[in-house]
A = this chain, B = another copy of it.
Amino acid sequence: MGSAHGSPAGRSTPAGEAGELAELLSRSARILNRGSVAGLSPLGLTYGQARLLRLLAGAARAPRMAELAARLDVVPRAATTMVDGAQQAGLVRRLPDPGDRRSVLVELTSQGRRLLGRIAEARRATAETVFGPLSPAQRADLLDILRIICGPGSSSAQRGD
């Protein structure tokens, strides 16, 4: 296994701590995802679709598919699936891009817009369960830390709630 085990200052991320951080991070995300799915399935939405709608709600203009994929941090193929599902449910609409006929713009329908409040409520309830045990200071710390991990441009991409 790792040779340098008890090395206090040799590496910036000690092997044991790094492994536990990774394990706990993926485990936390699994807990969050499980709660999100439970809260969203009564609305007929997947987690990805809810992220999509939330992004569209905060967007100034109807974004293109590629822009959507980038801001959702998924490959373009995954964005197609999300939009397909939301469109079938009547929540979003595909529009031709007047400036580039290869591109497709996506916007909320009024039906999709009406669902936003319930989506936000479901997310709030899930977040309350997951993050509720933390102190306000810990939540602030976690926010800072996750922003660093995710890098610039990832936070406040979806600001409204």
Contact = CB atoms under 8 A, between A and B. Distances in A.
Interface in A54-101: 54, 57, 73
A44 interface: no
Nearest to A18: B127
Contacts of A16: 159-161
Interface string A128-152: 1011111010110111111111100
User: Which of A54, A138, A157, A161 counts the most chain B CB atoms within 10 A?
Assistant: A161
A26 B24 contact: no
A128 B23 contact: no
A131 B21 contact: yes
A24 B117 CA distance: 20
Given A2-B124, A25-B29, A120-B1, A130 B149 contact: yes
B117 A13 contact: no
A15 interface: yes
A128 to B, nearest CB: 5
13 contacts: A1-B132, A5-B136, A15-B161, A18-B123, A19-B158, A22-B123, A22-B127, A24-B146, A25-B142, A26-B47, A29-B29, A130-B149, A142-B142
The 4 closest A-B pairs by CB, nearest first: A29-B29, A18-B127, A24-B146, A16-B161
Interface of A: 1-2, 5-6, 11-13, 15-33, 36, 47, 51, 54, 57, 73, 116-117, 120-121, 123-124, 126-128, 130-134, 136, 138-139, 141-150, 154-161
